[in-house]
A and B are shown apart, each in its own frame.
Chain A
Amino acid sequence: MSASESRSTRTRGGASRIVAHAVLLGFGAVLLYPLLFMILAGFFTREEFNRTVLSAFPIPDRPTLANYKSLVTGTVTAAVTKYMGNTILRTVYSTLFAVLTSFLAGFVFSRLKFKGRGALFLVLLATQTIPLTIAIIPTYLEFARFPWAGGNDIFVGGTGILNTWWVYLIGGPAMNIMGMFLVKQSLEKVPIELDEAAKMDGAGTLRLMFQILFPLQLPVVAYIAITTALGTWNDFITPFFYTSSDDLLTLPGAIARLSSISSGAGGTINYPLIITLGLGNTIPAVLIFFFFQRYIVQGLANSGVKG
Chain B
Amino acid sequence: MQRITAEGVADDRSGGSWKRFIKRHRDALLAAVILTPLIGFWLVVNGFPTMFGFVLGFFDWVGLTDRPSFAGLDNFIAFFQDPLYTGALWRSIWIGALVTVVTQAAGFGAALLMNMPLFGKGIYRTIWYIPAVTSTVATTQIFNLLLSPSNGIINNILISLGKEPIVWQYSVGWSIFWIVVYSVWKGVGAASLLWLAGLQSVDPTLYEAAEVDGAGRMARLRHVTIPGLKPIATFIFITSLVAAIQIYEQVLFITDGGPYSQTEVLVLRIYRDGFWDFNLGMAGASSLIMAILAMSITMIYYRWSSNSDRRTTIPIRGGGASRERK
Contact = CB atoms under 8 A, between A and B. Distances in A.
B10 interface: no
A174 B200 contact: no
Nearest to B228: A307
A20 B318 CA distance: 44
Given A130-B295, A259-B137, A296-B193, A24 B311 contact: no
Interface string B119-155: 0001011111111111111110111010000011100
Contact of A31 (B56, B185, B194): B185
Interface string A228-242: 001001101000000
Given A118-B318, A282-B135, A271 B124 contact: no
Contacts of A191: 324
Contacts of B315: 118
B53 A307 contact: no
A131 B247 CA distance: 10
A118 B317 CA distance: 7
A32 interface: yes
B291 interface: yes
Interface residues of A, number: 102
A306 B201 contact: yes
Nearest to B123: A290
B235 interface: yes
A197 B291 CA distance: 45
A130 B49 CA distance: 12
A205 B183 CA distance: 45
A170 B43 CA distance: 11
A249 interface: no
Nearest to B129: A289
Interface stretch (A49-57, A71-79, A210-218): A49-57
Interface in A235-285: 236, 251-252, 255-256, 259, 269, 271, 274-275, 277-279, 281-282, 285
A192 interface: yes
A289 B314 contact: no
Contacts of B194: 300, 305
B291 A175 contact: no
Interface stretch (B14-22, B72-80, B171-179, B266-274): B266-274
Contact of A301 (B134, B139, B197): B197
Contacts of B235: 305
A210 B135 CA distance: 35
Contacts of A294: 122
Given A56-B153, A271-B141, A293-B129, A251 B135 contact: yes
Given A31-B189, A174-B41, A175-B39, A236 B151 contact: no
Given A133-B271, A155-B67, A305 B197 contact: yes
B27 A234 contact: no
Contacts of A20: 113, 116, 118
Given A17-B118, A174-B45, A278 B134 contact: yes
Interface in B269-326: 270-271, 274-275, 280, 283, 286-287, 290-291, 294-295, 297-298, 311-312, 314-322, 324-325
A60 interface: no
Given A20-B118, A137-B275, A307-B201, A131 B246 contact: yes
Nearest to A100: B38
A135 B65 contact: no
B246 A34 contact: no
A236 to B, nearest CB: 6
B188 interface: yes
Interface stretch (B28-36, B83-91, B97-105): B28-36
B168 interface: no
A290 B126 contact: yes
Interface string A131-159: 11111111101100000000000011000
A234 B151 contact: no
Nearest to B184: A31
A16 interface: yes
Given A104-B38, A271-B145, A53 B156 contact: yes
A282 B134 contact: yes
A302 to B, nearest CB: 9
A111 B135 CA distance: 38
B122 A290 contact: yes
B34 A108 contact: yes
Given A25-B124, A105-B34, 14 more contacts: A32-B127, A32-B130, A37-B145, A54-B153, A111-B321, A112-B30, A113-B27, A122-B316, A134-B286, A139-B45, A174-B46, A175-B46, A278-B137, A306-B197
Interface of B: 1, 3, 25, 27-28, 30-31, 34-35, 38-39, 41-42, 44-50, 52-53, 56, 64-68, 110, 113-114, 116-118, 122, 124-139, 141-143, 145, 151-153, 156-157, 185, 188-189, 193-194, 196-198, 200-202, 217, 228-232, 235, 242, 246, 248, 253, 267, 270-271, 274-275, 280, 283, 286-287, 290-291, 294-295, 297-298, 311-312, 314-322, 324-325
Interface of A: 16-17, 20-21, 23-25, 27-28, 31-32, 34-35, 37-38, 41, 53-56, 101, 104-105, 107-115, 117-118, 120-122, 124-127, 129-139, 141-142, 155-156, 170-171, 174-175, 181, 184-185, 187-188, 191-192, 205, 230, 233-234, 236, 251-252, 255-256, 259, 269, 271, 274-275, 277-279, 281-282, 285-286, 288-290, 293-294, 296-298, 300-301, 304-307
Task: Name the 7 nearest CB pairs between A and B, nearest first.
Answer: A278-B138, A306-B201, A300-B197, A134-B287, A188-B320, A114-B28, A138-B49
